[in-house]
Amino acid sequence: MVVARKWIQTKAFEGAVSLDNFQLVEEELPALKAGEILIEALYLTVDPYMRVFPKQVDKSPIGQQIAKVVDSKNDKFPIGKIVLAMVGWRDKTVLDPDQDNPYYVTRFTPKKTLVEIPNVGDVPYSLYLGILGMPGLTAYFGFLEKCRPKPGDVVLVSAAAGAVGSVVGQIAKIKGCTVIGSAGNKEKIDWLKSIGFDYVFNYKETAVEDAIKTFAPNGIDCYFDNVGGEYALKVLDALSPYGRMCCCGQISRYNTTEAGPEKDVIHTIMINELSVSGIMVYSYTHAFPNALAEIAQWIKEGKLKPKETVFDGFTKLPDAFLEIFKGTASGKLVVKA
């Protein structure tokens, strides 16, 4: 008999997430039926959207993991094969590789529970949860398709030291742009400078509108928005005519239910003929293989530098999740099971 551990969410999130939102429980797994496999987590991801994903109370929070097949009654998935699976915060799982994703929401998640890992060469498995996974692809499509950068454009990225923002900034450099990033501590600022950002500021010390006056006196051409709220409205006001803004996330608002700052944003969008677009990365599923090949090539050439903060141990999942909102660590947060 195999016993799995899984985290469940004990109560609805309200305000800041705390450790008592989660409980670790054990579960006896059923014997494998024909066609099924048993997988064991190697790395699990924590991402900001887990804070706002609907209907998870009494369930294991949504999440992908890189896992190894450890028992199999399916010839296509032999023992030892590595897969990417959306099974939530669990260390062991029995599944049919062809089953639909129990967390599926149209456009927002993969349709199937299990996804083959892309064949992009010999890279650490954890990267499939970051730069070669959902966050990296979000950066790639959000920036290239929605911001439509041109060489010489001035690009601003918020939460620039994070999983998405750090990739956006580096792709912007590859595309010949001038890149400004914001982050919340000195270690992140120093790291962003070291990977090629032209200007970096601590948004907790310098208001974004002041940073823009200093670093981009002629305005911002592209804004990649990871934070939303007042920060995003301030940047909207500073976009150059024909500017582009990619609305990727609103992390400054995830822990609050209070109404956001009000303003007649529509007038600003009209008068400057701005393009403001959202991004949902799974809308580009058809184009993932080519994008991943290009990202992998940039990594190989040293043009894109992955960074991770790794939490050691399955029991650390809630701590890793809380770290997203503390904001001390940079790069992609992953948990080594």
Ligand X SMILES: CCCCCC(=O)/C=C/[C@@H]1[C@@H](C/C=C\CCCC(=O)O)[C@@H](O)C[C@H]1O
- Minimal distance, residue 161 CB to ligand X, in Å: 17
Residue 61 in the binding site for ligand NDP (CB under 6 A): no
Site for ligand X in 89-108 (CB under 6 A): 105, 108
- Residues 28/3, Cβ–Cβ less than 8 Å: yes
Nearer to ligand X, 56 or 109 (CB): 109
- Residues 217/161, Cβ–Cβ less than 8 Å: no
Contact map string, positions 53 to 82, toward ligand X, x by CB under 6 A: xx----------------------------
Q: Which does 226 bind (CB under 5 to 8 A by kind): ligand NDP, ligand X, none?
A: ligand NDP
Residue 181, helix vs strand vs coil: strand
Nearer to ligand NDP, 185 or 315 (CB): 185
- Minimal distance, residue 109 CB to ligand X, in Å: 4
Radius of gyration from C-alpha coordinates of the chain: 20
Cβ–Cβ contacts within 10 Å for residue 90, how many?
Answer: 25
Distance CA 85, CA 62 (A): 11
Range in contact with ligand X (rule: CB under 6 A) among 44-52, 92-100, 185-193, 269-277? 44-52
Contact map string, positions 137 to 176, toward ligand NDP, x by CB under 6 A: -x--------------------x-xxxxx-----------
Residue 3, helix vs strand vs coil: strand
Site for ligand X in 246-265 (CB under 6 A): 249
Which of 292, 337, 288 lies closest to 316, judged by CA? 337
Q: What is the DSSP letter of 52?
A: T
Residue 325, helix vs strand vs coil: helix
Distance CA 252, CA 225 (A): 11
- Minimal distance, residue 80 CB to ligand NDP, in Å: 30
- Minimal distance, residue 62 CB to ligand X, in Å: 7
